[in-house]
Structure 1
């Protein structure tokens, strides 16, 4: 069986200068790149992206930062692109989530086109042919779980942004789906300290291995 590194939402809007920035996001992108350069432990590397078209109440002009948020990671915008300090050369597949509803877990994502522009230079005027596909209903859509099982992956290691939201949701879904799941605690970044610690406690209680890289 195989192991996969799952890079969650290391996108421009979640890093410094973005519309929903997490402190340390840009440095984290570079640190994950260093890990990719230094290790051969993973058979596959997969990345997820928030990719919003019209997510309804997930966007708000008066967000509560729990269920609603400022506009971020709009499909095909620079904010939705992976941070340029993240080395994408070894990434085997990309999964996009949240087109028409809130989506925190990478397991809600769908496989992106192979001819995708991978990192941060893309402008808001560019577009992809399948941006109108519904997350749940796109014909022939491949989910993250589909892809991992097709590639005989039974263990996933998770890094990225944000610990108290998308890392939490992705790791819990990975455990529920039956994957041996590890979160590298030095290669994640949370929105705030209290919820981040609570998220880590919840992950440990669910059976996720928490360790440093």
Structure 2
């Protein structure tokens, strides 16, 4: 049995000053880093997902409804798409990008980024080369013999929710460490938590995780 920590979309555009800032985005970035410092030994692998939009169609809108359409955000190679500077990447084993030409809320829609990508976003990483092997998150986790996943990140009610539901549907024992997530809105976060629990996902506090 191997356990993975999936860090979902802790990017500048979802934090203070970003195009789609969530209330706790900055706090969650720092809190995940602190959690990793004390709990990294509890995980066999650590993975990040990254919104990486080029032309996602109706996902972007000048008149967004903030449910199915959104302001422009996390454009590939932009500072908004970069990981938040308070997110410690030292323990990260792989990064998966999603949503180049579609909405792609779930990390399981992402593909493994090239190894030479700059994870911190301090420089401009290029697009994935045409001949890059297209490895999905599910395939990669199976290669690592992962059976259990913990999900953290942004946003509780959208990409964290979608990633955790897909993980459970794929057969992983799935937990969401809810205090290490940041929501778009309290009401939709409550609905998401209920949906996750109905799907068999454990929604717990990070303090419940043994070191």
Q: If the length of structure 2 is used for normalisation, what is the TM-score?
A: 0.94
The residue aligned with 1:49 is: 50
Q: Point out 4+ residue stretches in structure 1 off by more than 3 angstroms.
A: none
Q: Does 1:128 find its partner at 2:126?
A: yes
Alpha-carbon distance change, 140 to 127 in structure 1, aligned in 2, over 3 angstroms: closer
CA drift of 1:157 comes to 0.2
CA drift of 1:139 comes to 6.6
Question: 1:12, 1:120 within 8 Å by CA — same for their partners in 2?
Answer: no
Question: 1:22, 1:162 within 8 Å by CA — same for their partners in 2?
Answer: yes
The residue aligned with 1:25 is: 25
Mark the runs of 5 or more structure 2 residues left unpaired by the alignment. 207-211
Instruction: Return the match for 1:174 from 164, 167, 178.
Output: 167
Mark the runs of 5 or more structure 1 residues left unpaired by the alignment. none
Q: Determine helix, strand or coil for the equivalent of 1:30.
A: helix
Question: 2:96, 2:137 within 8 Å by CA — same for their partners in 1?
Answer: yes
| Partners of 2:50 and 2:125 in 1: CA distance | 15
| Partners of 1:103 and 1:140 in 2: CA distance | 19
Q: Determine helix, strand or coil for the equivalent of 1:38.
A: helix
CA drift of 1:129 comes to 4.3
Matches within 5 A, 1:1-213: 1-39=1-39, 40-122=41-123, 126-130=124-128, 140-213=133-206
CA drift of 1:127 comes to 4.3
Question: 1:8, 1:160 within 8 Å by CA — same for their partners in 2?
Answer: yes
| Partners of 2:14 and 2:205 in 1: CA distance | 22
CA RMSD across the alignment = 1.2
Question: 2:60, 2:71 within 8 Å by CA — same for their partners in 1?
Answer: yes
| Partners of 1:185 and 1:205 in 2: CA distance | 16
